Structure 1
Amino acid sequence: MSAASCLLSEDQFLCSICLDVFTDPVTTPCGHNFCKTCITQYWDDNFPYQCPLCKKEFYTRPELHINTLFSQMVAQFRREAQQKASSSSSEQQAAKPGEVPCDVCTGTKLKALKSCLVCLTSYCHTHLEPHLSMKGLKRHQLIDPEENLEGRMCMKHDKPLELFCKTDQTCVCMLCSVVDHKTHEFVPLREEYEGKKAELGKTEAEIQQMIQKRRLKIEEIKESVKMSKDAADREKAEGVQVFTALKESVDRGLNELIKQIEDKQETTKKQAEGFIKDLEQEISELMKRSSEVEQLSRSKDHLHLLQSFSSLKDAPPTKDWTEVSIHPPSYEGTVVRVVVRAVDQLKKILRKDMKKLFEAELKRVQQYAVDVTLDPDTANPQLILSDDGRQVHCGLQLKKLPDNPERFSEHVFVLGNQSFSSGRFYFEVQVKDKTDWSLGVVRESVNRKEDFTVSRENGYWIVGAFENIFVALDDPPVRLSLQSDPEKVGVFVDYEEGLVSFYDVGDAALIYSFTGCSFTEKLHPFFSPDFNIGGKNSAPLIICPVNQSV
């Protein structure tokens, strides 16, 4: 019997109706073999009675009898196939939890290599062989092992899901396309699969870009913390040097200085750690999504990709980090102010050391120098501006100018073209040969048309000379005692710190600092050369380039 079965090809043991190995084979009067159940069902559904292969018609329904000899050959073929499967099963791995098992294996279920969308069955290496070698089974569509094969069939028509309805954005079978979706637009699953796969590639690239941006932001924050720490260390070293000279008499001042600096540094550190933690969490979520997208992108399973696409195409919700940054706290003036308060009675002793501190501090703030020019649209009609926008003095007559909303009408003021709403900036102005002047910064929304009091409360942070008496227009105004009349004044602003400081550039001395300011809108540089009375105070205010080597 074995020799006889070898004379037949494997295809000859397959029923042409079910395309599987014969079960209870019967022979029709025309000599063709079929499963008894298959041919019976075929004739129940079709009339006249025909042979499915040669199409010979029978006027009466033939009586079917099991083909005993051929049935024995089929049984022998089954036994040999099972023996072959049994001998090779030891070389294959049993299906582990989470893996798709072979549906044909009896006893130990081996790991499936492929699933057939026609048979709706998953096969191990041995049981997959007929689909790879037999002519009839080669036409079946094989996919990577899939446990839920029923989900690939149309629940309404029990047909394979082969088309994608672009109108309803869903997978349908051939029958759906002519019944329920007949007016809709369709494409093959593969075509839609390729399109969605390309979108997933784009999504993956976008996610990777987001991850990279966040990694760069982490490095930026770490660098900001390092810069903050360096500045803190530098300030502490200078503070220790000064307070060591004062010994026990100023220990209290030294402790106060160090505490202020360390508190600011700790605040910056905690803020940075919070940002880094949030960024690393987002990176973790993005990498998880990236892995899922990458895994889905590699899938050759059209249906699975399309059904999972919507939930994976977009990156998980993340924070917009574009504008987030660490603003290291400003230490400028910290040492100076604490030392001045603590050792006022020892100024003569400390003059040399204080000079060094001011010079170092001035050099640091000069690093934030910006290019400032005067805005003619804001200038009072009595003011005369140079062509390059860097000098202003007060004329003797009012010019006829448009009374635009930006222009100051009652006071001889002019603003800088530039505005600042974050960070730090510094500029220098020559006030040489002037008895009256004022400089500083103002809010963009200050009153420009009516008479008003110039003060911090009204949005002005300025210092000035009035008949050679120097005053900071704080609340209340503060009269300043300077060692000498400044010829050039530096103005430094730290927006986030709420600090505005003024320096005598020539003597490298601090003139005054506005602290604890709350800035909520744009700031503009402010200039007033004050009135020219008969040639007195006629010298201009001159915006000077900053020489950082001084």
Structure 2
Amino acid sequence: MAAGDSPVLQISSDAITCSICFDTFTNPKTLTCGHSLCLDPCLKRLSRQNLMQCPLCRMDIELPQSRNVEDLPTNYVVKHLLETAKSEERKESCSTDDGVSWFISDSGNVCRDHEQNCDFFCKSCMAVVCAKCLLSTHKVGHHDIMAAAEFARQKIDSLLKTLSNIDKLDLGKFEDRRTSMKILQQLGKYYQKMQDFRKNLKGLIEKKDEIRKLCGALVEDLCSNNFERIQEVQGITRLEVSINKEYMRLCELYASIGEDVNRLKKIGIGAAVVVGFSLGIPFLPL
């Protein structure tokens, strides 16, 4: 930094310069990733349909619902620094050793009454004064006097702390916003998964109903077939019982015939005649 440059202006210059075009910001806009770009020409050149990519971190940034880069949030911190830098510009550099002249009047740092350098600052009157003023209207002991350079340093430190706090606060807001956006994106994914789950569940319920209907039809068909088979089995069983009865009757008949044959043999009648008689044949040759 040159000897005549103000530390405040130097810091403001770094903070108000676009990292893409390296020019002073014009209408600085804040991206959701936390970086800031000037609206024209950088953002207008980078806009892509509904998405654009931050040239610094390569993060995809979604445009507002209007799909217009002009509706992105303005970086008011940078805007404030721009206004501060403009208000603190001076055509002539201060003659004090620290180079700060923002608290000195437009007429310069020369006392209007005594035409001497204003090397002191009266805190009681909030005015810069020269050595002769300390002997007349701003006497030490009655007024709170300090070196003008020291007062300037204190003001610079206070301003730098304020700017730092503003910057931290703004970055904190960006971080909170990024965190909120990540949470919203995650919730969106969860919601989509829930919708897919509901669709799958509905399909499974429909398939379950179809399977239930099919099972009911199969049970009815099986019951109908079983009834027919049961009737067939019952018919076969009845036929088997009838056959068994007929078989038993024949067995009894043959047993009776055997007894008759034995009796007839005893009385000398031939077996053929006896059998023929038992079977209803009136005559069989002996």
Q: Same fold (TM over 0.5)?
A: no
* TM-score normalised by length of structure 2: 0.34
Greater radius of gyration (CA): 2
> Of Structure 1 and Structure 2, which has the larger fraction of its residues in strand?
1
The structure carrying a bigger helix percent of its residues is 2
Of the two structures, which has the highest relative contact order with CA contacts closer than 8 Å and spacing of 6 or more? 2
Query: TM-score scaled by structure 1?
Result: 0.19
